[in-house]
Structure 1
């Protein structure tokens, strides 16, 4: 390619009828789902922080037995540490969405995979909190039925029906929390990722 050919290509790239403006127009529909993901993340931070504050006062609200306070707050400290770790990661993701520019298909691909990655991080975050929810629930039940629990521990006799009920309740609680997590993630994040994927597939076909 000689100098004249290079100059011709350069001039064509500068023409307003070139492909770049068309591509930018085609990428504009991605802005709406990305804005919705960003808005939902912003709301999520508020929900999570309020939830952590609420959980901190559960022993007082539900009159836990004072003997459980130390165990509760040791567990709560671990709960907060894990929550803070994942919330920091999600906040960093929020900042990337806030400052990222969607002006090329490559940028949109990068944003799409970033959303998919952080959806998985969010699921991991939610699943990692499930044991804490169950522990807090057990502490509540122990506090409500203190005398019966002490008697069972002292005698070593646990009614079979109680064991079965606890096992069934444990499994049902896990399934319910898992289902709720999947629904929440799809409703607030997953469906918008699918919208972006459909746009990318459409651009690929052109």
Structure 2
């Protein structure tokens, strides 16, 4: 009887020894998604900042009529403020997670929580800023001198038949829906896939 108890205890110790390497392996696997998320975020911050500079320089390169030029700067300024808002959140996230070197269940859980909050701010900022994009695009194509007469002023002041106005509103709403879907898919491909991998690793660690 005593022999059976000793054997049972030895089996339990062997199982613990087998679980430890598995846990260590899962913790090492978590380093890859975390590194990819941070690398992707750094690249996107740089691209977004470069994009702001490019868009603001456009009116200095292409001659535009007075009203389209003024509207373009106003809308791009508002869009840039929104962009800088979620970029600041992303920079905060990178700084907070810069010391994440030794992965534990707690650090992975905190990382997942922070990245999800950051992504909500990211998606909200992109969607809000992108809703102003159709007006900026209209300024470029309808208010540039090289494209002919100023058609933007008439469009912007809604000097058009009621039927045309309804078509413009409908087209704008369709653009809003498309922008929303693209933003959700884009964020999921950039970050959502890696977050789900971390959640799977976290589940394995808890087993």
Query: TM-score with structure 1 length normalisation?
Result: 0.77
Q: Distance in 1 between matches of 2:19 and 2:142?
A: 68
Are residues 190 and 75 of structure 1, via their aligned partners in 2, closer, same or farther at CA, if it must alter by over 3 Å? same
Q: For 1:113-124, what aligned pairs fall within 5 Å after superposition? A: 113-124=113-124
Deviation at 1:163, TM superposition (A): 1.6
**Coordinate RMSD, CA, aligned:** 2.8
Whether 1:47 aligns to 2:47 is yes
Q: Distance in 2 between matches of 1:203 and 1:23?
A: 6
Q: Residues 110-131 of structure 1: CA distance to partner in whole angstroms, max 9, x if unpaired?
A: 1111111111111011112023
Are residues 95 and 186 of structure 1, via their aligned partners in 2, closer, same or farther at CA, if it must alter by over 3 Å? same
**Unaligned ranges ≥5, structure 2:** 1-16
Greater CA deviation, 130-139 or 27-36? 130-139
Aligned position for 1:176: 178
Q: Residues 175-200 of structure 1: CA distance to partner in whole angstroms, max 9, x if unpaired?
A: 12111111110111001000001111
Aligned position for 1:56: 56
Q: Residues 4-30 of structure 1: CA distance to partner in whole angstroms, max 9, x if unpaired?
A: xxxxxxxxxxxxx69877644331111
**Unaligned ranges ≥5, structure 1:** 1-16
Q: Distance in 2 between matches of 1:56 and 1:137?
A: 13
For the 8 Å contact 2:79–2:129, the answer to whether it is kept is: yes
Query: TM-score with structure 2 length normalisation?
Result: 0.77
Greater CA deviation, 108-117 or 156-165? 156-165
Deviation at 1:107, TM superposition (A): 1.0
Deviation at 1:31, TM superposition (A): 0.6
Aligned position for 1:165: 167
Aligned position for 2:6: none
Q: Distance in 1 between matches of 2:161 and 2:63?
A: 26
Corresponding residue SS for 1:82: helix
Q: For 1:102-181, what aligned pairs fall within 5 Å after superposition? A: 102-140=102-140, 142-143=142-143, 158-181=160-183
